[in-house]
Amino acid sequence: MSAQGQVIVGLDIGTTKVCAVVGEVDADGITILGVGTVACKGLKRGIVSNIELTVRSIRDAVEAAQQMAGVKIDTVYAGIAGSHIRAHMSDGVAAVADREVTRADVERVLEGARAIPIDVDRQILHALPREFVVDSQDGILDPIGMSGVRLGVHVNLVTAATTCVQNVVRCAERAGLKVADVVLQPLASAHAVLSEDEKEIGAAVIDIGGGTTDVLLYANGGIAHTSSIPVGGNNVTSDIATGLHTPMGEADRIKRIYGCALGRLVEESEEIEVPGVGTHAPRRVARHVLTDIIEPRVEEIFAVVRRRIEETGLLEQLSSGAVLTGGSVVLEGMTEFAEEILGMPVRIGYPIGVRGMVALVNGPQYATAIGLVKYGAEQLSQARERTQVTSHPSSSRTRVEPEQPKAPSGLWNWFRQAW
Ligand SMILES: Nc1ncnc2c1ncn2[C@@H]1O[C@H](COP(=O)(O)OP(=O)(O)OP(=O)(O)O)[C@@H](O)[C@H]1O
Ligand SMILES: [Mg+2]
């Protein structure tokens, strides 16, 4: 680990937990220095609904990560999700300044694509290029250096409700943190678990958390779709609580220990012990009673995901299949069930491309937080190119000054990753 490394912190504010991951970026890549995960009750279906509870969980998670990493955390890359997220197509066109496309031309055309009317209560989170057009030649992934007089771009604009973005920023700030950028959670998750090859030939990332199921599709080399479904593992838990007449906490525990998404994977003879509510005594029930409760809910989640994908018309283009992230995908039988319903190869997404304390973050529930660190690292390399990096003499390691959220320069990184 280099003493010259830059510290980047990803802050995943989820419906069930807040997770802060501290990474150090140097020439060799990203080293995980510390992790803090704390239960959070301040969100509903991916959206902040109680500032106080959220701030408390952020403070605790950051404190734990800080202790482990031995560095002071002051700036974070924060994730955002929820049904308020929308994707819109937009086009931009610009004259090429010197008959050869430069980065400045690309940024100008992307700015143009962002300049579409959106509702006053919404803001653009990301502008993700799908393809460039130089003069009459389309399907270009990287136009820099090409000759031409006219540069066009087709962009996927991701927008969010401004109040939801502001609440994420407010929570982080009230926990004493600066927010370098607010990043779409499934975009971060995809970044953590997908290889460049998978992005290129097409893949779906499906993040099934506690409150939401987020879908992100890579097709034709770029990000083609994102959407959020307000159902997740918490619905499975409440189905179990109702079906087995047991408290939510117990239902979650039973789900984690004995749960299975596919009834046919469970032996008829298997039994589990269910604690009773209040004064009722614990009782033994067949394990397939539990899977009979879980299976229809998981089926519903994957069926909605399949419908969403079909509606985009991109199903055939997801050649490398689907990658599942989020805590709920740890449930036994999820991969098999997803393959059946989605009709494509499915794997669990473990974070890739990081070193250090990887054992602490080696699960699909950490994909978002790790992806936020990777996003921040890309921003850093971009900032380096633009010589916007400053060092903080007070800190034991060099830190990154937060960039203005949604600054055009930040787009370039996502553009490069997407292509
Ligand atoms: N071993 C397990 N088996 C089954 N489910 C699990 C397991 N571990 C965690 N879960 C479930 O995963 C869910 C939490 O996942 P995750 O941590 O990805 O959610 P989150 O990021 O807090 O929420 P969201 O992304 O929806 O806002 C909970 O419903 C929890 O019950
Ligand atoms: Mg999550």
Architecture of domain 86-158: 2-Layer Sandwich (3.30)
Kindly give the distance from the C-alpha atom of residue 389 to the centroid of ligand 2, in angstroms, as a whole number: 30
- The Cα–Cα gap between 225 and 309 comes to 9
Q: What is the pLDDT of residues 335-361, one digit of tens each?
A: 999 999 999 999 999 999 999 999 999
Q: What is the pLDDT of residues 118-144, one digit of tens each?
A: 999 999 999 988 899 999 999 898 899
- The Cα–Cα gap between 334 and 347 comes to 9
DSSP 246-313: --HHHHHHHHHHH-BS-GGGS-TT-EEEEPPSTTPPPEEEEHHHHHHHHHHHHHHHHHHHHHHHHHHT
**Atom of ligand 1 lying closest to residue 40 CA:** 22
Residue 185 phi, psi dihedral angles, 5° rounding: -60, -50
The first and second tokens of residue 205, run together, are: 């990332």
What is the rounded average pLDDT of the residues 188-207? 95
Beta-carbon contacts of 23 under 8 Å, excluding residues fewer than 6 positions away, are 7, 8, 9, 10, 30, 31, 32, 33, 354, 356, 370, 373, 374, 376, 377
Q: What is the pLDDT of residue 398?
A: 41
pLDDT at 414 over 80: no
- The Cα–Cα gap between 113 and 258 comes to 50
Question: Topology of 196-350 in CATH?
Answer: Nucleotidyltransferase; domain 5 (3.30.420)
Pinpoint the residues of the chain covered by CATH 3.30.420.40. Answer: 1-84+159-194+352-419, 196-350
406: left (phi over 0), alpha (psi -120 to 50) or beta: left
- The Cα–Cα gap between 284 and 152 comes to 65
Kindly give the distance from the C-alpha atom of residue 17 to the centroid of ligand 2, in angstroms, as a whole number: 8
H or E stretch including 339?
A: helix 334-342
Top CATH class of 1-84+159-194+352-419 equals: alpha beta
Task: Check if the beta carbon of residue 37 is closer than 8 Å to that of residue 19.
Answer: yes
**CB 206: neighbour CB atoms within 10 A?**
28
Question: In this structure, which amino acid lies at residue 151?
Answer: L
Q: Residue 385: which pLDDT band, with cuts at 50, 70 and 90?
A: low
pTM, whole model, 2 decimals? 0.89
Pinpoint the residues of the chain covered by CATH 3.30.1490.110. Answer: 86-158
**CB 10: neighbour CB atoms within 10 A?**
30
Q: What is the pLDDT of residues 298-324, one digit of tens each?
A: 999 999 999 999 999 999 999 999 999
Q: What is the pLDDT of residues 354-372, one digit of tens each?
A: 999 999 999 999 999 999 9
Q: What is the pLDDT of residue 279?
A: 78
Q: Residue 277: which pLDDT band, with cuts at 50, 70 and 90?
A: confident
**CB 411: neighbour CB atoms within 10 A?**
23
**Atom of ligand 1 lying closest to residue 236 CA:** 29
- The Cα–Cα gap between 184 and 174 comes to 21
pLDDT at 151 over 60: yes
- What is the bridge-based pairing of β-strands 29-39 and 43-44? unpaired
Q: What is the pLDDT of residues 156-176, one digit of tens each?
A: 999 999 999 999 999 999 999
- Residue whose CA is closest, atom 28 of ligand 1? 210
Ligand 1 binding pocket (C-beta < 6 A) is 14-17, 46, 81, 209-212, 232-234, 237, 252, 255-256, 259, 326-328, 330-331, 365
- Residue whose CA is closest, atom 5 of ligand 1? 328
Q: Residue 418: which pLDDT band, with cuts at 50, 70 and 90?
A: very low
Q: What is the pLDDT of residues 41-70, one digit of tens each?
A: 999 999 999 999 999 999 999 999 999 999
* Count of helices and strands (H, E) across the chain: 11, 20
Pocket test residue of 16, 80, 213, 260 for ligand 1, highest count of atoms within 8 A of CB = 16
Kindly give the distance from the C-alpha atom of residue 193 to the centroid of ligand 1, in angstroms, as a whole number: 17
